[in-house]
Structure 1
Amino acid sequence: MAAKKLCESFSKSLLDEVHRCGCMKQTGVSLRYMMEFGSKPTLRNLLISAQFLHKELPIRIARRAIELQKLPYGLSDKPAVLKVRDWYLDSFRDLKSFPDIKDNNDELEFTKMIKMIKVRHNNVVPTMALGVQQLKKALHPKVHNDGLEEIHQFLDRFYMSRIGIRMLIGQHVELHNPNPPPDVVGYIHTKMSPLEVARSASEDARGICLREYGSAPDVNIYGDSNFTFPYVPNHLHMMVFELVKNSLRAVQERFMDLDKIAPPVRIIVADGLEDVTIKISDEGGGIARSGLPKIFTYLYSTAKNPLCEQPDLETANVATMAGYGYGLPISRLYARYFGGDLQIISMEGYGTDAYLHLSRLGDSQEPLP
């Protein structure tokens, strides 16, 4: 079925081109380079940036399209995965059929097109999650308990690559903003306050907790409110939101039926010479040691699966409180994308500490899967 569909909708010459491009070397960039290059968004720089993306994006997209066709356990044939693969092939075709970028009019047209590509890929994460769920349903339980290592590794590469593609496109598109806010270069805020971002992410997470449970523990934040460093605020927001959301859920579920007041979730922001570390601590009862290795896999969640309740993909993008089992592994990829990391340390019977390390040097190259 899959092979038939592929030949019908995509020409052989396009697929040959995908394989040719997929063998080419990717070029990573660092946060510092994006920041310095984007701080002067002259017409010439925008032209250079577009020419780079015109060469680089097809290579990255081709690599993922090839991998999507070679997944184990028949994952490649699941309807949701076929849908994602078609988005990648469509985007590859759009990029390859765009002529060389010679002047600023070409650059503006190209920018319009990659903006469309970014929108086309908006639902990749929930759609892939659905594909994995479709696979889980079909698999013998023995298989997926043995840890589908190959699928986890593929998804790590796949989502890491997606973060990079979206960062490069988003950064280029944002540089066209005629009135950027002060200290903002594309997606990067050169004087981002981690405390401010943590505050806003916590409020968002509490909002969801209130909606779902009718109440939410407090979140107390400690650190220097004047401290800033260059980073991508929406990446940090996403990671803190995810971690605080997990903590709120754990505390809420542990204290809901007791007559005690739920203890607050605590966030501490520390600025070291190399790293900015954000620690999120809760007293939500912790995670059993046997469960810890599973928390960074894509086939595990302690919550009900939202996709079982919403088989319709169009609604699968709502911010549910939990359930894809994707929040932690994807947050760790966001941290690693700019040279940081995420560690979870747990005391079963008490609570959990999440340490989010962010590299403040901005020199590390993108990790290119």
Structure 2
Amino acid sequence: MAVKKAAECSSKALAEEVQRWGAMKQNGVSLRYMMEFGARPTEKNLLLSAQFLHKELPVRIARRAIELESLPFGLSQKPAVLKVRDWYLESFRDIRSFPDVKDSNDELAFTQMIKMIKVRHNNVVPAMALGVQQLKRDINCKVVSELEEIHRFLDRFYMSRIGIRMLIGQHVALHDPDPEPGCIGQINTRLSPMQVARTASEDARSLCFREYGSAPDVNIYGDPNFTFPYVPSHLHLMVFELVKNSLRAVQERFMDSDKDVPPVRIIVADGIEDVTIKISDEGGGIARSGLPKIFTYLYSTAKNPLDETYEGISDGVTMAGYGYGLPISRLYARYFGGDLQIISMEGYGTDAYLHLSRLGDSQEPLP
């Protein structure tokens, strides 16, 4: 009985602490600040970075944990969502029970701990997607288009997750004893968008081959020598997602046709404010009535590959179907002040414009 009472007290205390931290102000950083700060990963700077994260991460994690408790339509009670909430509470508890970071030994121990937190949260996106799919099965699908509130929550939730992972990943990466030339933590100061477009396209094509037995060509145009500062993993994820969608559309449109399969075209343009990457296909386009749906998390034109076992799902293992590739890609673009737009010609094809902010000055958008 005493054990049960103690457990109740500690969970009440935890809930109160989560509420207290969730009410605190978040502090955003910019890509430029991360670059300038990380350019000198001295012991002192790493200590300052750890002290900042020790205060900042619990605020961000607490906010999400609170939101996970009170989602509409019973989404909070779905097993997959309860699991995500438990991960967030566990991570909050880990950071809050870690003493103040005072010297480099503390800093190294803290770094190991947040590294573990990042791994714990690896499957958050597929788990949340599974929760939403479970919800979709339970309620009338016609209502789903009106579930604006859930959509807004997922936007905030995933944007916050991008920020948390970026801060942890950046701090951890600054410990790399042998960074790649031009890299400051996760940021490559001389990133070639042409090179990323090539790699992402090859990855998307090999996925398409696996799924359909063939894949359209991808032609890439732009200055091969042009570079700018950006996070390679973010850019790869966005381009991969867009090219994958285009390949699927073209492949399915020309599967039983004797016409030549048109290539997907990527154009990289280097502007003063933005780097823009345009991905064009002749996959038949999207009906105008369907366009507003493509950025919601409750929509996918593909069959649903999610089943009850989402353990071990990593991002982008199937050609399509979670219904969150596009909205999450747009959040990645917006995280550093860019955007993603889709323009369609029904009966012909689709153009995706990925705008990436050149200046790196915009603050993180903190939900």
- TM class by smaller structure: over 0.9
TM-score computed with the length of structure 1 as normaliser: 0.96
Give me the whole-angstrom Cα distance separating, in 2, the residues matched to 1:25 and 1:45: 23
The residue matched to 2:298 in structure 1 has which SS? coil
Partners of 2:39 and 2:357 in 1: CA distance: 20
* SS of 1:306 mapped into structure 2: coil
- 2:317 pairs with 1:337: no
Alignment partner, residue 238 of structure 2: 239
**Residue number in structure 2 paired with 1:41:** 41
In the TM superposition, residue 10 of structure 1 has moved relative to its aligned partner by: 5.9
Deviation at 1:8, TM superposition (A): 5.9
Letter paired with 1:101? V
Distance 2:30 2:9 in 1: 37
Amino acid at match of 2:80: A
Using the size of structure 2 for normalisation, the TM-score is: 0.97
**2:324 matches 1:326:** yes
Question: Could you tell me which residue of structure 1 aligns to residue 212 of structure 2?
Answer: 213
Aligned residue pairs, count: 361
- State the secondary structure of the residue aligned to 1:278: strand
Taking the aligned partners of 1:160 and 1:109, their CA distance within structure 2 comes to 27
CA contact (8 A) 2:123 2:312 kept: no
Q: How far off is 1:311 after superposition?
A: 2.2
- SS of the aligned residue for 1:268 comes to strand
Instruction: Give 1:257 deviation, angstroms.
Output: 0.3
What letter is aligned with 1:39? A
Residue in 1 that maps onto 2:308: 311
State how far apart, in whole Å, the 2-side matches of 1:143 and 1:260 are. Answer: 41
Q: 1:356 maps to which residue?
A: 354
Deviations 1:198-225 (CA, angstroms, capped at 9, x unpaired):
0000000000000000000000000000
Structure 1 position 263 matched with structure 2 position 262: yes
Question: 1:111 — aligned with what?
Answer: 111
Structure 1 CA distance for aligned equivalents of residues 9 and 121 of structure 2: 18
Structure 2: where are the runs of 5+ without partners?
none
State whether residues 285 and 346 of structure 2, in contact with CA within 8 Å, keep that contact through their aligned partners in structure 1. yes
Quickly say closer, same or farther: Cα 1:98–1:224, change in 2 above 3 A: same
1:322-346 deviation per Cα after TM superposition (whole angstroms, max 9, x unaligned): 0001000000000000000000000
Question: Hey, what does 2:197 align to over in structure 1?
Answer: 198
Give the match's secondary structure for 1:363.
coil
- Deviations along 1:29-57, one digit per CA (max 9) or x if unpaired, are 00000000001000000000000000000
Could you tell me how far apart the structure 2 residues matched to 1:141 and 1:279 are?
33
C-alpha distance in structure 1 between counterparts of 2:122 and 2:56, whole Å: 20
State the identity as a percent. Answer: 81
Shift of 1:110: 0.1
Q: Does 1:179 align with 2:178?
A: yes
C-alpha distance in 2 between matches for 1:320 and 1:173 = 29
Match of 2:63 in 1: 63
Distance 1:82 1:115 in 2: 22
What is the CA–CA distance in structure 1 between the aligned matches of 2:295 and 2:8, rounded to whole Å?
38
Contact 2:336–2:362 at 8 Å: present in 1 too?
yes
Counterpart amino acid of 2:79?
A: P
Q: Distance in 1 between matches of 2:185 and 2:313?
A: 28
Report the residue type matching 2:265 in the other structure: R
Q: 1:332 is aligned with what amino acid?
A: R
For the aligned residue pairs, the C-alpha RMSD in angstroms reads: 1.2
More displaced 10-residue stretch of structure 1: 339-348 or 134-143: 134-143
Partner Cα distance (2:142, 2:60) in 1: 34
- For 2:311 and 2:287, the matched residues in 1 are separated by 35
Q: How does 1:158-177 map to 2 (within 5 A)?
A: 158-177=157-176
Runs of 4 or more, structure 1, over 2 Å off, are 7-10, 315-318
Matches within 5 A, 1:11-90: 11-90=11-90
- How many Å apart are 1:140 and its aligned residue? 2.0
Shift of 1:313: 1.6
Q: 1:251–1:298: structure 2 CA closer, same or farther, 3 Å change rule?
A: same
What displacement does 1:75 show? 0.2
C-alpha distance in structure 2 between counterparts of 1:271 and 1:209, whole Å:
29
Question: Per the alignment, do residues 221 and 10 of structure 1 end up closer, same or farther by CA in structure 2, a change over 3 Å counting?
Answer: farther
Aligned partners of 1:135, 1:10: CA distance in 2, in Å? 31
Partner Cα distance (1:215, 1:195) in 2: 23
1:143 match: 143
Deviation at 1:315, TM superposition (A): 4.3
Distance 1:114 1:314 in 2: 21
Q: Which residue does 1:122 correspond to in 2?
A: 122
2:344 match: 346
Q: Deviations over 1:64-100 (max 9, x none)?
A: 0000001000000000000000000000000000000
User: Residues 212 and 8 from structure 1, CA distance in 2 versus in 1: closer, same or farther, beyond 3 angstroms?
Assistant: farther
Deviation for aligned residue 1:142: 3.2
User: 1:207 & 1:59 partners in 2: Cα distance?
Assistant: 41
What is the deviation of 1:141? 2.7
Q: Residue 21 of structure 1 aligns to which amino acid in structure 2?
A: W
Pairwise CA distance, 1:316 = 3.3
